[in-house]
Amino acid sequence: MELTHLRAFIAVADAGGFSRAARLIASTQPTLSRQVLGLEKELGRSLFERLGKKVVLTDFGRTVLAKSRSLVTQADALQASGEATGGQLFGLIRLGVADSVILSRLPRLLQKFRNRFPGIRIHVRTGSSLQILTWVREGNCDAGLCMLPSTMPSVKLIPLWSDDFIPLAPSKHPLARQKAVKIQDFAAERQIAIHPETLSHQITSGVFQNAGCTLAADMVFDTFHLVVEFIGAGLGVGIATSISAESALKRKRVVEIKLKEFNRLSRHLGVALHVDRTPEGPLEAFLDQLEIPR
């Protein structure tokens, strides 16, 4: 049984699909498919139920996943014990990454890091920023790249990037022709919003609350890129981030709305680390590439 097959199986299970897993671990969908198929043939049973582009673990697959994680963890520990051999670093970094970082920065960042440290593997899990912070705090991830709160117990927060929140409307929407719009009038339109269980939602909903309104969304999505896409399709208005809206603004599918008495808000994206863990080896190399002082 090959470790590469087990790693491929774990990556697909965590990503919920072959295509997304391939993007996250810088592999290809055919390669992952072959590796998982090889594992299934070796075990004699199916690990996934294929539902179009998505996959769901079978009962047998869930059992194998837990055992696979244990085997891979043990193998990584053995490898890490000799990671400095020949001056080359080896080992594994477990990253929790929010979609905002995945879509805007992570692919280029990982490509550069992989070219410099080919012996270091990076396992990526995606989730909301709150989930990622919890994973770091509980030791399920070595580091998180996500939106940062002001504080979080047992987690060290290191801001790296900032991103503004901006009100948006379809380019042909009546509000787009006004020089300034009351927040109450903006709130009365069909709203497209980020999921309530996110740090970003806490901030954006506060804009309406401060004006005595309620954010009652008709559509809710897990990423701001989807929020922008549906606003651009003419299905409503909403607040998104400047990074997620950059392309749609250039193509004039959406326009930024000037709200009266709206103070520009920003979110901070960066790295989350456990306060009791001293980065070393692979993780230290990764943080050095991010140019994080320690």
User: What residue ranges define each of the domains in the chain, with the CATH number in brackets?
Assistant: 1-81 (1.10.10.10), 162-267 (3.40.190.290)
Give the span between the Cα atoms of 283 and 92, in whole angstroms: 8
Q: Which residues contact 103 (CB under 8 A, 6 or more apart)?
A: 223, 225, 244
Q: What is the largest CA-CA distance in the chain?
A: 66
Predicted confidence pLDDT, tens digits, the chain (294 residues)? 678 888 888 988 888 888 888 877 767 888 888 889 989 988 998 999 887 767 889 999 899 998 888 888 777 766 655 554 555 778 889 999 987 676 667 788 888 888 888 889 899 888 888 889 999 998 889 999 998 988 889 999 999 888 899 999 999 999 999 989 999 999 999 999 998 888 888 888 888 888 888 888 999 998 899 999 999 999 999 999 998 899 999 999 999 999 887 777 888 889 999 998 888 888 989 988 887 655
pTM over 0.75: no
Would you state the pLDDT for residue 258? 92
pLDDT of residue 24: 73
Q: Are 93 and 143 in contact (CB under 8 A)?
A: yes
Q: What share of the chain is helix, strand, coil (3-state, %, to 5)?
A: 45, 25, 30
Q: Which of 53, 11, 15 is nearest to 35 (CA)?
A: 11
* pLDDT value at residue 74: 78
Cα gap 96→136, rounded to integer Å: 8
pLDDT of residue 28: 80
